[in-house]
Amino acid sequence: MRPYSKEIAVGALPVLIVFLIFAGVPALPLIMGVCLMAGLLLLARARGGLAIGAAAKKAPTRAPQYLTFGDIGGQEQAKRELMEALEFLVKKDALYKLGIRPLKGILLAGPPGTGKTLLAKAAAQHTNSVFVAASGSEFVEMYVGVGAGRVRDLFQEARKLAAKEKKDSAIVFIDEIDGIGGKRDGGQQREYDQTLNQLLTEMDGIQGDENPRILLIAATNRKDSLDPALLRPGRFDRHIQVDLPDKTGREHILNLHARNKPMAEDVSLAKVADETFGFSGAQLESVMNEAAIYAMREESDTITSAHLAQAIDKVMMGERMDRETTREERERVAIHELGHAIVAESVRPGSVAQVSLTPRGQALGYVRHHPSQDRYLYTKTVLEEQIMIALGGAVAEELNYGGRSTGSRGDFDQATHIVRSMIESGLSSLGIVHPQAITTEQWAKENASILDELTEKTRELLRGHLETFQRLLSILIQEETLSGDDLRTQLQQTAA
């Protein structure tokens, strides 16, 4: 279209209408006809835009041909359960022989970054199936019926694509299914309910003898929020938990991501796995990637242990900040972090990896811990030790300055959260009691009792290390970092 053609047309149209009125043409029918034509053009353009948007949303995501279960680390139990559930797509003859009803849906539940999407893609490769993916948010619209239509289109696209590629099965993957599968509360969310009802209808319509055979795999990190009608057998027949990897799983994941990276001889991925307790697979991949970036910045040919340590700190705490602090603030931060470190090393020997005064994220300093072993059950003693470690920084400030600072706020939040867990688990003097049966006054009294007792224990512990504390303080202020080994050496010398 030529420049200014739209402006010329808009300007000429009123002139034409005025001319026709003077020529004797009735004005009202003419104006109504022009408005009607303009409305039809706008509606056609809008429908075209919606169609383009819907087509873009329905575009299938195909699984990479190279992604297999062997390329996914740290989820051996989940992989084993998923592969067993997929047997009905691989061994079809055995189904008819034993009268097995094919599965309709598999739900993958677990924290973010644990590999749920990767497992779904590997499932498509394992079964030689077409892979069509969508996110739960793509079905949420304000207009009634749009989301339900997209659900129908998704399953139709899977069937068409399987027929086109001449495959016997198709896997439909919906990520973050809690976006459309949440519990219905009987409100007026008609669009939301229609979308969920359509999904239930599509799952009920999956037949064991159809060709291609359809399997729905969904992922969520909020399984407790899903509607019971979606979770019942006959829809999602298998629920597979995809948890954070343990130490062996973390080492496996690190080895997978180290395959294409030049590692220095001093690197021990087993040690890195020790220091990354609670990391997801996505975070471990980020650690390896950030370590490679640090190596590139230093123009190093290999990735060293120092690069990996920096990467762990960045993923755990955030990017290093260039904050200017006063001498008094620097000293107070050093005292605070040493309080955490000495208490941690006293109650759990060998647990401190590093003490640092480097500002990262919102923290002016930090202590990086690594547990001797992964722990999933906590006794009263273990929880009390965690509270003492959290209180160590504030108590150290009190012993040196006679008061606390705002830097202890996060530590107090952590301590009170642990106290709540103790009370709700029946590990306090209140005994086994329902949380809702406890009054606010009882909560406050029990919380204060536990924290006061453990604060005094922490104070006595740090008083026994005052001489070592001052020696470590001068080293930390001068060097900015203190390794766990140096900390333990100093504490052992005092004990001797």
Given a cut of 90, is residue 181 above it in pLDDT? Answer: no
In the chain, what are the domain boundaries? 5-58, 69-241, 247-317, 327-495
pLDDT tens digit string along 284-296?
A: 999 999 999 999 9
Helix runs in 23-105, H state only: 27-58, 76-85, 87-90, 92-98
CA distance 301 to 98: 58
> pLDDT digits over 41-82, tens only?
555 454 444 433 443 344 444 444 568 888 888 888 899 999
Higher-confidence residue: 62 or 129?
129
Which pLDDT score, from 0 to 100, does residue 144 have? 57
Tell me 259's DSSP state.
T
pLDDT at 408: 87
Phi, psi values for residue 387, rounded to 5°:
-65, -40
Q: Domain spanning 247-317: which CATH class is it, in words?
A: mainly alpha
Predicted local distance difference test score (pLDDT) of residue 16: 64
Q: What is the arithmetic mean of pLDDT over 294-304?
A: 93
| Annotated catalytic residue within 81, 337, 345, 384 | 337
Residues 463, 466, 472, 474, CA torsion sign: positive
Tokens of 57: 């949303």
pLDDT of residue 56: 39
DSSP strands (E only) in 301-455: 352-356, 366-369
- What is the C-alpha separation between 25 and 29, in angstroms, rounded? 9
Q: 266 or 99: which carries more pLDDT confidence?
A: 266
Is 202 designated active site? no
- Residue 232: pLDDT band by 50, 70, 90 thresholds? confident
CATH number of the domain at 69-241, please?
Answer: 3.40.50.300
Rounded Cα gap, residues 140 and 148, in angstroms = 9
- The pLDDT tens digits of the residues spanning 351-361 come to 888 898 888 77
3-state secondary structure of 173: strand
The pLDDT of residue 302: 93
DSSP 8-state symbol, 402: S
Has domain 327-495 been given CATH number 3.40.50.410? Answer: no
- Residue 483 CB contacts under 8 Å (≥ 6 apart), including other chains: 353, 354
User: What value does the mean pLDDT take over residues 406-422?
Assistant: 92
**Range from 11-15, 63-67, 99-103 that averages highest in pLDDT:** 99-103
The highest-confidence range among 19-28, 86-95, 385-394, 424-433, by mean pLDDT, is: 385-394
pLDDT given for residue 496 in this prediction: 56
Whether 323 has a pLDDT exceeding 70, the answer reads no
Question: What pTM was estimated for this model as a whole?
Answer: 0.73
Pairing of strands 105-109, 236-241: parallel
Least confident span in 59-68, 279-288, 314-323, 343-352 = 59-68
Euclidean distance between CA atoms 495 and 247, whole angstroms:
32
Q: Is the pLDDT of residue 322 over 50?
A: yes
- What is the C-alpha separation between 247 and 407, in angstroms, rounded? 32
Which pLDDT belongs to residue 143?
Answer: 55
**215 within 8 A of 167, measured Cβ to Cβ:** no
Phi, psi of 174 (to 5 degrees): -115, 110
pLDDT for residue 46: 47
- Residue with the larger pLDDT of the pair 235 and 453: 453
**Closest by Cα among 60, 36, 270 to 165:** 60
**Cα separations in angstroms, 474 against 21, 93, 285, 478, 490:** 95, 74, 36, 6, 12
- Cα dihedral 217, 222, 223, 225 in deg (nearest 10): -120
Q: How many CB atoms lie within 10 A of CB 51?
A: 10
Residue 480 has pLDDT above 90, yes or no: no
- Residue 180: pLDDT over 70: yes
Mean pLDDT of 203-221: 83
**What is the C-alpha separation between 217 and 196, in angstroms, rounded?**
15
pLDDT on residue 1: 45
Structure-model confidence comparison of residues 4 and 102, the more confident one: 102
